[in-house]
Structure 1
Amino acid sequence: MKLHQDVQFKTQAKNNEWEQLKQFTDARIALGRVGGSLPTRPALAFQLAHAQAKDAVLKVLDLDGIQAQLAVLQHEVLRIESCAVDKAQYLQRPDWGRELSEASRQQLKDYVRQHKEAYDVVIIAGDGLSARAIEDNAPYFIQQLYKACIAQGWRVAPLILATGSRVALGDEAAQILQAKMLVMLIGERPGLSSPDSMGIYYTWQAHVGCSDAMRNCISNVRPAGLSIQVALQRLTALMKKSAELGLSGVQLKDEHEMAAVTDQLQRPKQLF
């Protein structure tokens, strides 16, 4: 048997030639190497990012904290839940996350019976696959969206916080409340560099059985992604056009030209 000598690598850390490109992306490039392995720092950073993504999925939404931040609007807040009563069911049965629990369905029906009002907009924030994304981004976004809706003369239904939620959960809620426009805020599936990414789904005359083709999506809303100010501009432009044409989804194109957003317009850090 012929023996081959093991390949020997130099022990000192070697930087990657793409090092200068790291400032332009969160992607894991130019990590360097020590011998045939990753340096300790990027190896530990990967483990931390994986743990943050996992925590974002399993975290229980802080309903009290969000509701306290929304109190400044002096607008009623309701809490609903899906048929997925815990995280295990939510992950194993996606269909249960799209359906209101019987108690929540009855709660909304009772509310409509007691408050015979017509609504233009219903805003729902659901935990989805990242409760952290909703806790970090939704309260301030809802405050700004609510003000924009009032400025347009739109009647806003009670603000709704949902747990165990998939995107389609909002359809039945909007149908029961008979709201023309549904804005569904939901925590997106966390990547290894984005555990705090919030998605926005807009639907005109949402109802049970809506297909994804009937929705408009604005994704990656977070400090390191699409800013709240830009997302709000895009959403309100879509809503205005939707109200004018009476449609949404693939038939409604995002043709809004956004003004530049300066550092002064970024979300005040002291709010969170």
Structure 2
Amino acid sequence: MTPPPPQRSLAELRALTPARVGLGRAGASLTTQALLDFTLDHARARDAVHASFEAEAIAAALTGQGMRALVVTSQVADRADYLKRPDLGRRLSRESRELLEERGSAACDLLIVIADGLSPAAVNAHALGLLDALMPKLAGFGIGAVVVAGGARVALGDEIGALLKARMTIVLIGERPGLSAPQSLGAYLTFAPQPGLTDVARNCVSNIQSAGLSFEEAASKIAWLAREGLSRGTTGVALKDESGLQLATSLAAPA
């Protein structure tokens, strides 16, 4: 008879996850330490949402690496407007649209957009590191300018991609902060971008952060989706991420 698995203590279970489990209580309330931890994480999440987006610094770093960088903004007036009017974050400001129309280039396979989203802090911390891991994996593709977009929602990449004649956009954007992940980055891939598309047309690689997907892991997934999406002419629900299956198959193959 197989012996039952050993019982784990709450302390061991808490060590396996950043989620709040086994917090304990003091009477009908949380313990003081649990309440203080929750308050701190809540403050970090709020700070991430309202952090300043270092758009010019990111663009300067890209230029220093030999890339062509363009800085644009959406139609939102300020951060409060961004939070209240998601629709305005999906459209370019008039000045930015004119800039892209003036500096538009020949058609390209891939266009990368770095956008602040709901966590500018995540983009400030992780976007350049992810891009360093990603660019070598995209060798062989025609890559247009890197567009740094402020006040942006994911769908802003559709208008940008259409204006710059990209076959596919890759939008690197700050994700909505959680109480255990205030600086999480996401990557959204959209084939044939154009205004009016919804998330059904996109693939997403999420949770890119120190406690989630590493830059190398995320870059491998993004590059696989980009390659397969361009080859098949689609992204979204019609394209399933099978990059892990491909890796498992290669590891299982005899030497």
TM-score, structure 2 as length reference: 0.89
Q: Which position in structure 2 is the counterpart of 1:104? A: 96
Q: Which moved more, 1:155-164 or 1:170-179?
A: 155-164
Using the alignment, how far apart are the partners of 1:143 and 1:226 within structure 2?
A: 15
Q: Is it true that 1:252 corresponds to 2:244 in the alignment?
A: no
**What's the secondary structure of 1:127's corresponding residue?**
strand
Amino acid at match of 1:103: E
Using the alignment, how far apart are the partners of 1:67 and 1:224 within structure 2?
A: 26
Q: Is it true that 1:139 corresponds to 2:128 in the alignment?
A: yes
Q: Where do 4+ consecutive residues of structure 1 move more than 4 Å?
A: none
| Equivalent runs, 1:40-189 vs 2, <5 Å | 40-112=32-104, 115=105, 117-149=106-138, 151=139, 153-189=140-176
Structure 2: gaps of 5 or more residues: 1-8, 249-255
Residue 85 of structure 1 and its aligned partner are, at CA, apart by 1.9
Matched length: 240
Residue 235 of structure 1 and its aligned partner are, at CA, apart by 1.0
Amino acid at match of 1:123: I
Q: Which position in structure 2 is the counterpart of 1:28? A: 20
**What's the secondary structure of 2:179's corresponding residue?**
coil
Using the alignment, how far apart are the partners of 2:74 and 2:107 within structure 1?
A: 24
Using the alignment, how far apart are the partners of 1:253 and 1:119 within structure 2?
A: 24
Using the alignment, how far apart are the partners of 2:181 and 2:21 within structure 1?
A: 16
TM-score, structure 1 as length reference: 0.83
| Structure of greater Rg | 1
Structure 1: gaps of 5 or more residues: 1-16, 261-272
**What's the secondary structure of 2:117's corresponding residue?**
coil
